[in-house]
Structure 1
């Protein structure tokens, strides 16, 4: 039952995260990247702080410096760098294509799980990684002669892939933090407090670069639609998605999270077609199918094996992380 709850939390987390590509599309042409991130984080904190004001101070004071450092890395990779690369990439590529390219996250997460968390690799997982990489190359037009992609378009796609890599790093750091927290009885897991602290750290990182983007002048010029997009980005894409993420990752392993991260391209591509009126060509569909197949191959066996590893010995996992 606990594993099922974890999977449902991850499903919700990545479905909400997939809306980031579309919601960002409404404001990328009118606001600077760091301004978008900073304002959305302010909305997130306004939503989060009242929910955990009593537990937040206690949770923070019980945290070791090493765990705090992991939260800083999560804020840096999962919010600051992820959004910087994603928002920059959206200037030169479509929301639908960017959404599909975030499907590289499962493969990158799987590679990091093998390299850092020492999780075992099988032929199925390796095939999934290769399939995902092939799908990304097809989307990029590398395997299609005369695809006609401009250098700017390819550059935009590469920035989105960098965002996917940052998301994968965030997934890995979060899993390490969850394992460490599970072995420390003095520091119970608190997804809302974790989300609040990570959001506050990311906001601090964004404030200085946002000041160079003429934030106040540009914010005064946007309309209701853009403000609603920023509100959605803060409350749903950041606050609720991260709460679900932290609640899910403490119950599931890295490969399980890698599998469910494939919901990001599903959600973003669907919404870009419905809300933005974008169309996917045959290259994007073929690449998207390959990415999805890779996601299934990576996650299908991992959904059971990682959970069984967690059940058998928590100490083994702890030793893997601390090595």
Structure 2
């Protein structure tokens, strides 16, 4: 949303809709951790290849209108960015979490990934030629603290910590790498292309790491979990996430990633984990406070004093509908 003067209340209707989309996406991702616990015995790269391939097939009808001209207009650099987005933010993130959990308790990569709002709050404005907003940065730190309180900290070694940091990079890259290609593609087409690329990358990794064992027929529970991850978490979640970034920018949207551990904690009892306790309730309060603080900050100013929307259109350019 673009305005020539600061609005009296930063959280306007468009911003509220964008934050609702970001929150929905993050709640779905958090719930996916419970489904993922069913897939621990399934070939990881092969499972992710199936997930992203199915998601791409489901997204194609939603993104087909006007897709070919927009894809043909992409530059080589933009295609490379899309490939990197799929490799870092999707395939890389999932593989980093899996590698971290071999020598670290799941809370360790979870807490590090919960620091993504802080990283994005610093890097997003820097990439846009701005200074980090104080309120957004403070809100991001508060959200990260809430994620830590919800999940706690677990045992780890150097390798587990290193892979957890890699997962943090993947989580931040999932938002930051998408920003320059979100305008020409829109949320639906971007999600479809990224899923297709991630499916190919995961298949190649599976063949490289697992050979002929990279893929097998899933058991009924595994098939249900893969279908949930593909149809709900990936299709609905990705489109909501990128539509949110289109409306409110990467900094504010990523604040809602603090809801991922909240959703994971609330759905964990479905997989036999203990119900959330007082620490989780306190963590939820911190996350809520951080999001409220960050989203009520004034809209960022671009160099030269302009106050663009999160993705101001170029002159003569009409941004695609979500």
TM-score category of the 2 structures, normalised to the smaller one: 0.7 to 0.9
- RMSD of aligned residue pairs (Cα, Å): 3.5
Q: Deviations over 1:103-159 (max 9, x none)?
A: 222112112224323343344344445556666777665xxxxxxx5435x854653
1:199 Cα deviation from its structure 2 partner: 0.7
1:101 Cα deviation from its structure 2 partner: 4.7
1:65 Cα deviation from its structure 2 partner: 2.3
Name the CA distance, whole Å, in 1 between partners of 2:179 and 2:63.
22
Match of 1:112 among 123, 130, 155: 123
Specify the alignment match of 1:240 in structure 2.
236
- 2:190 counterpart of 1:194: yes
Q: Deviations over 1:266-307 (max 9, x none)?
A: 1112111343324567777766765665454444426x4479
Specify the alignment match of 1:263 in structure 2.
259
Specify the alignment match of 1:48 in structure 2.
59
Q: Deviations over 1:148-171 (max 9, x none)?
A: x5435x854653443233111221
Q: Deviations over 1:224-272 (max 9, x none)?
A: 1111101111111212111112222111122211222222121112111
Contact 2:31 2:267 in 1 (8 A): yes
Specify the alignment match of 1:151 in structure 2.
156
Mapping of 1:218-233 within 5 angstroms?
219-220=216-217, 222-233=218-229
Contact 2:206 2:214 in 1 (8 A): no
Match of 2:113 among 102, 114, 128: 102
DSSP-derived class of the 1:310 partner: coil
DSSP-derived class of the 2:95 partner: helix
Q: Structure 1 residues 105, 255: CA separation in 2 closer, same or farther (over 3 Å shift)?
A: same
Specify the alignment match of 2:307 in structure 1.
309
Query: Unpaired segments of 5 or more residues in structure 1?
Result: 142-148, 182-186, 317-323
Name the CA distance, whole Å, in 2 between partners of 1:47 and 1:112.
32
Query: Unpaired segments of 5 or more residues in structure 2?
Result: 1-12, 315-322
1:219 Cα deviation from its structure 2 partner: 2.4
Specify the alignment match of 1:320 in structure 2.
none
Higher helix share: 1
Contact 2:181 2:190 in 1 (8 A): no
